[in-house]
Copies of this chain bind each other. A is one copy, B any other.
Amino acid sequence: MIEEPLPGTGESPSGLSSALEAILLVADEPVAENMLAQVLEVAQADVAAALHGLAASYTEQGRGFELREVAGGWRYYTRAEFAPVVEKFVRDGQEVRLTQAALETLAVVAYRQPVGRAQVSAVRGVNCDGVMRTLTLRGLVEEAGNDPETGAILFRTTSYFLERLGLAGLEQLPELAPFLPDHLDDEQDPGHVRPS
């Protein structure tokens, strides 16, 4: 799909440069050149040249963002001169209210941690990838290693979560039993979830 192996140098980015822009826009951590080369199926040298070309053009055009190579990978950053408005924007944001879906997912993680995405999805009956991402972005949930059997990423709640709920530790989470329907016996313990 990427026809031009060489990055354009003009105002319009080449196919390769545009593809790099698309990928880096959604990357949530710096992406290494060889990773990009692999996804795009082009030579790493071409990727490097295109990235440097893009970074230079953003700077030259005085855009609000820049492309920087950090920690072995490339990532979009806001340009330093706009830090004051970005700070103002971030600070001014209203307190974030979680959606019902996010609250339910958070509740499942809190009581079943460490827990993988698949198990959370199985409990809630719908895919929860997006919501888990939101909770991670908001600092309420964090990764907690991998499942020794499946290798799936496990998640747990953060200390920020405890702080927001006004608890000193996880052991202060209220017991679930009083909130569960009476007729549930141990055998039916909903905690026993078959991973999907």
Residues of A within 8 A of B (CB): 1-2, 11-13, 17-23, 25-28, 35-36, 38-40, 60-65, 76-79, 82, 84-86, 88-90, 92-93, 95-96, 99-101, 124-127, 129-131, 133-134, 136-139, 142, 158, 160
Q: Is the CB of A38 within 8 A of B92?
A: yes
State the oligomeric state as a number of copies.
2
Nearest CB in chain B to that of A88: its residue: B39
Measured in the bound complex, the distance between the Cα atoms of B164 and A130 in whole Å is 12
Measured in the bound complex, the distance between the Cα atoms of B27 and A23 in whole Å is 17
Q: Is the CB of A130 within 8 A of B62?
A: no
Q: Is the CB of A86 within 8 A of B2?
A: no
Q: Within the complex, what minimum Cβ distance (angstroms) separates A179 from chain B?
A: 19
Asked, given contacts A13-B61, A26-B89, A76-B25, whether A126 binds B134 with beta carbons under 8 Å apart, the answer is yes
Q: Within the complex, what minimum Cβ distance (angstroms) separates A180 from chain B?
A: 19
- 14 sampled A-B residue pairs with Cβ under 8 A: A12-B63, A13-B61, A13-B63, A22-B85, A25-B65, A25-B77, A26-B78, A26-B89, A26-B90, A40-B85, A92-B130, A99-B139, A100-B136, A101-B137
Q: Within the complex, what minimum Cβ distance (angstroms) separates A177 from chain B?
A: 24
Q: Is the CB of B137 within 8 A of A131?
A: no
Note all chain B residues with C-beta closer than 8 A to A124. Answer: 137
Note all chain B residues with C-beta closer than 8 A to A134. Answer: 125-126
Q: Is the CB of A64 within 8 A of B127?
A: no
CB < 8 Å: which of B18, B78, B84, B95 contacts A64?
A: B18
